[in-house]
A and B are shown apart, each in its own frame.
Chain A
Amino acid sequence: EVQLVESGGGLVQPGGSLRLSCAASEFTFSSYSMNWVRQAPGKGLEWVSHISGSSSTIYYADSVKGRFTISRDNAKNSVYLQMNSLRAEDTAVYYCARYCSSPSCQGGFDYWGQGTLVTVSS
């Protein structure tokens, strides 16, 4: 069964940094794009960042551009989110989610991790 397991969340002061990891298993990791989606407490879902299977295509939400960096290591079946210059409004549960756009795939974020909580507070 496909599994995505996030780690690396925690409490950080405003202006600080944090690196999230998402370990994938039971699928051909390099064949899929990966995304980070966040959810502030009591709020809805917000897409954060996307990386293609080969890392050739990377996108960010305007709210995190210039502060967050997405990367992946296909040899380790992992995707990462380096978060710098963190703000209170970055406080959220961060999910990694698998995405495949080919016609043979389910056209959405078909598997999600359980999420990791990032709290930005002094």
Chain B
Amino acid sequence: EIVLTQSPATLSLSPGERATLSCRASQSVSSYLAWYQQKPGQAPRLLIYDASNRATGIPARFSGSGSGTDFTLTISSLEPEDFAVYYCQQRFNWPPFTFGQGTKLEIK
């Protein structure tokens, strides 16, 4: 089973700042990595798929990069609605599909 480790666990930033979230895989997942955003009481929403492709309707301030074992989600300039929990997920070697433990992006 591929383990995904996200860092940091919590990121405290202000609106307008740049956010950089990390996801590291225990073995290569090629580019088969997705990012999700989840707000309290809501279902997760797909942001990025295959490491760097924005999902339908996702603003351009969200970008993904990386391949192999190291991946990054970048939010170029934080909007108030971006404060949420973010998860990475791999689909390279499944079952099981595995998720990272999440990074909570909170307002500083």
Residues of A whose CB lies within 8 Å of any CB of B are 35, 37, 44-47, 50, 59-62, 95, 101, 106-115
Cα A59 to Cα B42 with chains together (Å): 26
Report A-chain residues with C-beta under 8 Å of the C-beta of B49: 106-108, 110
* A47 B99 Cβ-Cβ under 8 A: yes
CB neighbours of A115 from chain B (8 A)? 43
Q: Check A50/B46 contact, CB under 8 A, given A101-B91, A108-B55.
A: no
Do B44 and A112 have beta carbons less than 8 Å apart?
A: yes
| Per-residue contact bits, chain B 79-91, to A (CB 8 Å; 1 contact, 0 not) | 0000000010101
Pairs across A and B, CB under 8 Å, 8 listed: A37-B44, A46-B99, A47-B96, A95-B43, A107-B34, A108-B34, A109-B46, A115-B43
Cα distance, A114 to B43, chains bound together (Å): 6
Instruction: Count A-B contacts at CB 8 Å.
Output: 68
Residues on the B chain within 8 Å of A35, using CB: 97
Using a CB–CB cutoff of 8 Å, the interface residues on chain B facing chain A are 32, 34, 36, 38, 42-46, 49-50, 53, 55-56, 87, 89, 91, 94-102
Since A106-B49, A109-B46, A112-B44 are in contact, a sample of 17 more A-B pairs with Cβ atoms closer than 8 Å, ordered by chain A residue number, is: A44-B99, A44-B102, A47-B96, A47-B97, A47-B99, A59-B96, A95-B43, A106-B56, A108-B36, A108-B46, A108-B91, A109-B89, A110-B55, A110-B56, A111-B46, A112-B43, A113-B43
Chain A hits for B99, CB < 8 A: 44-47
For residue B97, which residues in chain A have a CB less than 8 angstroms away from its CB? 35, 47, 50
Q: Cβ of A108: which chain B residues have Cβ within 8 Å of it?
A: 34, 36, 46, 49, 55, 89, 91
Which residues on the B side are within 8 Å of A37 (C-beta)?
A: 44
Given A35-B97, A47-B97, A101-B91, residue A109 in contact with residue B102 (CB < 8 A): no
